[in-house]
Each structure stands twice: as C-alpha cells, then as structure tokens.
Amino acid sequence: MNKNFVNIVLNNLFSLELNELANIDRCKIALGRGNKTKIWKRLPGSLNEPVEMYQSGYKGEGTKVFVKGVAIIDEEVEDNLGNIMHFNSNQKMNGHIQMNGNTERTWCYGDYSHTFHYSLEVNSPAPFKNRKFSGYQTFMKGFDNKPGSYVVAIYDDSKDTTKL
Amino acid sequence: MLLQFTMIAKILQNFNSSSSGAVFGGVTALFVLGPIAPRVTRVIQVQLLDLKFDRTTFGSFSNLAANAAFGVLKSLHIKYQRLGSNVDKEIREEFISNITLAPPLSLDQQDLINKCLLLGSGTDFTFNKLKSTSRRIKHFQMNNQSAQKEKTAIIGKAVAEIDVSAAEVLSWLWNWTSNEKMTVYREDDNSVSRSVVEYVSTNETITETTKRFPPPFKNRQFVTRAVWSGSDDFWLVFILLRIFR
C-alpha cells in the first residue's frame, strides 16, 4: 500500500481544491502556527525519549490538550507521508485492537485525492464512556515555501466542507 | 410534556455521542514533514486534542492524553530506525551538498557575525596561553572588562587541527541533535536536555541545552543562537550563548 501511494498515487494526484486549502489554513490558525509567544514545556519523564514531546497550556474554551512533537525519522519523506495517510494499515489496526479491543476504526480514501475520511473509537477508563473521533486528513506538498516538504492537516467533521 | 422533553434530551444526547454510546472528541493537528537528507525526514506534529472531560477529571488525564497523542511519531521512529552513524553521515553529506544554496545572511545575522569577529581580532584583546593536554589543541584565555569596568567576562579560545575538510567540520557542528551527540548526552549525568528550539533558516537555528549543577544551585539552561556563513574554502560558525534561566 505504501509503495503504491509513493509511486502511483503521489504521481497522479488531482490538484488541490480550494476548500482543502482552506481547511489546511484553518488548522494552521487553530493551532497558532507561527505564534512565537507560546511556551512549550517538555512532558515530564520524556527527556530521554527519541521523540521530543512538549505540552503547552490551552487558554480557550473547554479542556483541551495542546501538544507538539518533533522526531527525526530515518526514511524518505514520501514514505513517512504514506504511513501517516494510510490510517488503517495492518500495523495500525493491530495496535488499535490491542489498545481498544473491537471498537470502530474506519478509513475512506478517494482515489488520487488529497483528502480522506477517518473515524475511530478509543477506550476510556471506567467510569468514563469511550471517546470517538471522526474527521478528515488532507495533505499538501510544499509548505512554508519549502518545495520538498509536506503538511498533513487533521480536522473534525464539523469543520469540513469537503465531500469524498 | 414529559415525553417531549425526553425526546429532546435523547436527540441532544445523540448529538454528543455515537451510536455505540461513545462521546465525540475533537482533534485538530498538523504534521509538517521536511526532508533533511534523501532518507531522513524531520516530522513536527502540533495537535489540539479535546477529550471532552470536565475540569475535575481533566487534570489526571492531561499527561496521559498528551503522551498518547504521539503514537504516530513513536511508531514511525521505531519502524524506520536505522544505524545512527549512517544517518548522521547522510545528514552531513546532504548539508555539505547544499552549502552553496544557502540564502545570503540577513542584516541581523551579519551584525552578529561582525560582533563575534571583533572578539578575537581587536587590538585591545590579548590572549594568555593556557596549559593544554593535547599536542594539537592550544587553549587561550583573557579577561574582558566592560567600558564602565562593572563587569568582567572571561573569554576562552581554542585552536585545533582537525583532519577533515572545513565543510565536514561545519556539518558536524551544525547537527546539534545528531545520533552521536544525543548518545553522548544521554550517557552524561550532568546533561538534562538538548534540543533544537527553532529552525530559523538554512544558516540559523536556536538550540538549547540544560546542565545539572551541584546543589544548592539550580539547573542552568543555555539557549544558543547559531549562525554560519562562509565561502568555498573558509567556513565560520558563530554561536552566541545566553543563560535563559
């Protein structure tokens, strides 16, 4: 699947639609990208982890967790993109079943599109109900004026206007 | 009336939870993937996760949820991890091949370089030679008093011969969190953290390192602004250190 994505899908993509671009921009704004006043603190106990994990205070409505992670991955950028976009790979399905049992995990991908729909249900410890997430992932080549880079934006159903 | 109320309540409940009874959470995230070398990628994930917990229970789940949010990055790292020395070499080679493509220095960067150049070349400065344990490395030191004679800074200088090209040395210095350096950092009991705070441009980064100090002193975090510049056969690295806290 990953090989197909890198060699076939990426070379035959439809052009990015305006609403896809708008959704990426909306994510950038919601996450305050470029805001240099935000203070990120390392997660306790994560200093020696290969993935740098940071958390920042969230001052908006409700109780949300604001995190940032930085990792150096020893593989081509397109392979990493394929791995992130392929939501229901065997590896991810196995991990999901181990963690959450027989709960929902779906993936709907339009051929040669920049966007796919996903949904998953994760177990919550008792007495809390399980949590369900449903939304879209959109990717774009060339981010921050770097032609070789990619960005993947993830957003909930309610924020989207894209129809697959 | 009661029936009507129950129906409205049920509709509202369905709006906030799925058919399985799960509560809808929310995720907004960005993954930025930037190539460092042909087979090395830097992935930055920024994510806002809403688990719809109330404020009383949120505290105990906050760190757990934050950790769980990095599942994708952790699995990518494990899946594609290769021998560190090979990856470092690929990053250095890519850096060297792109040196000539670096953008010109900004005025601010040039100003920083001029200030640093002044440190070692001014006529007012005389370095005293220190004892060195290595035949190939020479150490020097001098006291630099401010114009108002309020502050005195000690400036150190080292001169060494390295058996590789200048570009190779620069590429080694520039990779602040190389596998080699991170291995040394993890084995050093006095090191608390080491990371790149910001990739400003091809020739500038903001880095940080935190060192453990003996009690009663608190740990010291050094935030560093690093800028490099040069020509085909002469490379310079300028580092400005600032104690942050």
Residue B179 has pLDDT above 70, yes or no: yes
Strand partners, B153: B144
B43 to A71: CB separation less than 8 angstroms, yes or no = yes
Is A134 at the interface with chain B, CB within 8 A? yes
List the one residue out of A154, A150, A83, A151 whose CA is nearest residue A120: A154
What's the token pair of residue B182?
Answer: 């991170």
Residue A84 has pLDDT above 50, yes or no: yes
Residue A148 has pLDDT above 80, yes or no: yes
- pLDDT at residue B12 in the model: 39
Is A148 at the interface with chain B, CB within 8 A? yes
- Name the strands in the sheet holding B128-130, side by side, starting at the edge strand that comes first in the sequence: B128-130, B137-145, B152-160
- The predicted-structure confidence for B12-21, as pLDDT tens digits, reads as follows 344 456 667 8
From chain A, pick out residues whose CB is under 8 angstroms from the CB of B72: 84
What's the token pair of residue B40?
Answer: 């090395």
What's the token pair of residue B217?
Answer: 């002193």
For chain A, count helices (H), then strands (E).
Answer: 4, 7
B29 vs A75, A77, A154: nearest CB? A154
First to last CA, chain B: 64
Domain ranges of chain B: 30-79, 85-126+159-243
- What does pLDDT average to over chain B? 82
- pLDDT at residue B149 in the model: 61
Give me the DSSP letters along B52-70. ---HHHHHHHHHHHHHHTT
A75 to B31: CB separation less than 8 angstroms, yes or no = no
- The predicted-structure confidence for A53-71, as pLDDT tens digits, reads as follows 999 887 766 778 899 999 9
- The predicted-structure confidence for B145-170, as pLDDT tens digits, reads as follows 655 566 677 888 888 988 998 889 88
Helix (H, G, I), strand (E, B) or coil at A124: coil
Residue A131 has pLDDT above 80, yes or no: yes
Higher pLDDT, B134 or A152: A152
The H or E element containing residue A40 is none
List the one residue out of A74, A149, A39 whose CA is nearest residue B245: A39
- pLDDT at residue A152 in the model: 97
pLDDT band at A143 (very low <50, low <70, confident <90, very high): confident
Residue B22 has pLDDT above 80, yes or no: yes
From chain B, pick out residues whose CB is under 8 angstroms from the CB of A2: none
CA–CA distance, A70 with A66 (Å, rounded to integer):
14
Residue B228 burial (C-beta neighbours within 10 Å; 0-12, 13-18, 19+): buried
- pLDDT at residue B11 in the model: 40
| Neighbouring residues of A64: CB distance < 8 A, sequence distance ≥ 6 | A58, B26, B48, B49, B50
Supply the pTM of this predicted model: 0.84
- pLDDT at residue A162 in the model: 44
A95 to B71: CB separation less than 8 angstroms, yes or no = yes
Shortest alpha-carbon distance between residue B65 and chain A (Å) = 7
- What does pLDDT average to over chain A? 88
Residue with tokens 């109900």: A129
Give the long-range contacts of residues B10-19, CB within 8 A, separation 24 or more.
B16/B52, B17/A129, B17/A132, B18/A104, B18/A121, B18/A132
